[in-house]
Amino acid sequence: MIEIAVLFAISCVGLAMALNLWRLARGPTTADRILALDTMTINAIALMVLMQIQQGSAVYFEAALLLAMVGFVGTVAYCKFLLRGDIIE
Amino acid sequence: MMLDAGPIEILISAILVVGGFFALVGSWGLARMPSLMTRLHGPTKVTTLGVGSCLIASMIYFPATQGKYSAHELLITLFLFLTAPITANMIAKAHLHRQGRSIDPNPMDDIAEGLPETGLGTGWATFEGQDAERADPPR
């Protein structure tokens, strides 16, 4: 039962990442592309958590934590660059 | 590792299905909404309900099957819930500033010609002090 539920959730998150990719390629403004990339990072974290439930191993936790931190820093850096034309002033 | 069919298995499966559903709905909203200010709503559902449900399912699954508990899920949850509002605020601010200078026009936003008045007698807070800063000579 859990196997089927995990498979369903992984399919949903994979489809969600495809939708994010569509928005990333198409998004009319630069802020749209930043938002799509940030959502893709969050979906990747969800995918890692689901993968380790499926495999029964806890080796992806550090990767998911690192992705959470680096994704946030990257998004803020993109926004600062758009706002100020520079990241560290 | 298999669980016995029981209430814990049903609970984990239900939480997983809810998480996958909300991740899909949030990204569908990101793809289908007409302008960026409405598109900001979708990813918040992905962050809170989608990833939150997956992490809760993981927090129940690993102690129930392998008998070991770890606080990694709490760390990820805390970090995501702390950073999601900051990210949304920064993206909205970048969008407003690009719109205000009409660099990046998005006709669905109705603010391509400039922002409306706030109605409070003061300007938009995110644009406060910009003119003074521009008037300053470079240090």
pLDDT per residue as tens digits for the range A14-34:
999 999 999 999 877 888 899
The pair of structure tokens assigned to A2 is: 């859990």
| B111: pLDDT strictly greater than 80 | no
Rounded to the nearest angstrom, the minimum Cα separation between B84 and chain A is 8
State the average pLDDT over residues B68-85.
Answer: 86
Contact B19 A45 (CB under 8 A): no
Mutation pick from B30, B44, B48, B133 vs chain A, by most beta carbons of A within 10 Å, is B30
Instruction: Return mean pLDDT, chain A.
Output: 88
State the average pLDDT over residues B78-98.
Answer: 87
C-alpha distance from residue B50 to each of A49, B26, B72 (Å): 11, 8, 17
CA angle B21, B27, B31 (to 5 degrees): 140
In the prediction, which pLDDT does A58 show?
A: 77
CA distance A62 to B50: 19
With CA atoms as reference, the chain A residue closest to B57 would be A53
Contact A35 B73 (CB under 8 A): no
Domain spans in chain B, listed from the N-terminal domain onward: 7-115+122-135
By C-alpha distance, which of B20, B21, B77, B24 is closest to A53?
B20
CA distance B86 to B112: 25
* Chain B touched by A57 (CB under 8 Å): no
| pLDDT confidence tier of residue B5, bands split at 50, 70 and 90 | low
With beta carbons under 8 A apart, name residues in chain B contacting A83. 90, 93-94, 97
CA distance B92 to A79: 9
State the average pLDDT over residues A78-83.
Answer: 87
Nearest CB neighbour to A49, from listed B10, B24, B55: B55
| B100: pLDDT strictly greater than 70 | no
* Chain B touched by A22 (CB under 8 Å): yes
Contact A53 B91 (CB under 8 A): no
In the prediction, which pLDDT does B113 show?
A: 58
By C-alpha distance, which of A42, A79, A28 is closest to B22?
A42
Residue at token pair 């400039």: B114
State the average pLDDT over residues A52-75.
Answer: 88
pTM: 0.82
C-alpha distance from residue A47 to each of A7, A40, A63, B19, B27 (Å): 11, 10, 11, 11, 14
Nearest CB neighbour to A35, from listed B39, B66, B80: B39
| B102: pLDDT strictly greater than 90 | no
In the prediction, which pLDDT does B130 show?
A: 62
3-class DSSP assignment, residue B5: coil
| pLDDT confidence tier of residue B137, bands split at 50, 70 and 90 | very low
| pLDDT confidence tier of residue B139, bands split at 50, 70 and 90 | very low
| B41: pLDDT strictly greater than 60 | yes
